[in-house]
Amino acid sequence: MKERGKRLHGRCQHWICPVRRLIRSFPSGSATGTSKSVSIGSMRRSAPLVAVAILCSTLIVSSLQAGQDSAHDLFHRMQQALGGAEKIAAIRDLDWTVKADAFDHAGKLIGQVTKRTRWIRPNYLRLDQLGPGDTYVLYFDGDRGWEVLPGTSNVIDLAGGELDFARQYLAGFMLNLWIADCTGNSTITSPAPDVIRISSGKNSSEIILNPANWLPAQVVEWQDVDGVQFPAHEVNSHPDDGTADIRTKRIVFNSGLKPDELRAKPPDGRPVLLTQDVR
């Protein structure tokens, strides 16, 4: 069985792997560019989300009143710059497509990748990616899931390194990280000036902030999506893999995604992409 566990994000040994590793963690890199078209769903708030926002607001006030330049203060500056905990927590689901050009170390174009991410708060994740040698589909509900590995059309259960990969992906998903102070199961520290480390269990993510605006420094082109700052364009580089130039093509919040939609297995084993996203 082909295994993605050794190919993605520090685990890949050949040119196929850079495509997935470089594109997985958008945002994380640096670039300039312009955003593509944006469509936004309505932002209806449920009582649990409002409660989360109130809890976060209380934490922000308490931390700032302490007058300490702590890791939580740094985190809350970022959170406010992104649009605030209430607006971020009000994002119940996301349908997001990016396009990327992947290059090797010599600057040679490997190919173009289209990736669609669907997510329902807090733990439903569906990835559909179409790319050179790295076309795959993955579903994860926070506990179990399935995938179609590159070069195959069979659906298999997530297990071993593949299951670990899905857990790490979900733990590092930015809409979860951005309200990590509200969940009660994360530790926020600052290992260096303007750097936030968010840890939960065995998973850890670091965010470098731009002190000019307190947004994650890796993204230099942002777009306002119903009051929340969202990545529009970045360039990811990895010492082992090369570079990926990534642009958001379409982003929709709160379209009413259902878990059954994300769970549905593709009958032909191919990624499920919208027609307008592959043009």
Cα separation of 72 and 77, whole Å?
Answer: 9
Tell which wins on pLDDT, 163 or 1: 163
Enter the pTM of the model: 0.78
**2 is a domain residue:** no
- The total domain count for the chain is 1
Q: What does the pLDDT look like over 58-67, one tens digit per residue?
A: 444 333 333 3
Cα separation of 212 and 31, whole Å?
Answer: 17
Distances (CA, A) of 129 to 97, 110, 118, 134: 9, 15, 11, 8
Report the pLDDT value the prediction gives residue 47, as an integer from 0 to 100: 38
Place of tokens 């090797």: 104
**5 is a domain residue:** no
**79 is a domain residue:** yes
**263 is a domain residue:** yes
- Average of per-residue pLDDT across 16-26: 48
**157 is a domain residue:** yes
Domain with 51 in it: what CATH number?
2.50.20
**10 is a domain residue:** no
Q: What does the pLDDT look like over 73-115, one tens digit per residue?
A: 999 999 999 999 999 999 999 999 999 999 988 889 989 999 9
Residue 124's domain comprises 16-84+95-277
**7 is a domain residue:** no
**11 is a domain residue:** no
HSE on the CB side for 176, CA within 13 Å? 25
Q: What does the pLDDT look like over 153-210, one tens digit per residue?
A: 999 999 999 999 999 999 999 999 999 998 778 999 999 999 999 998 888 999 999 9
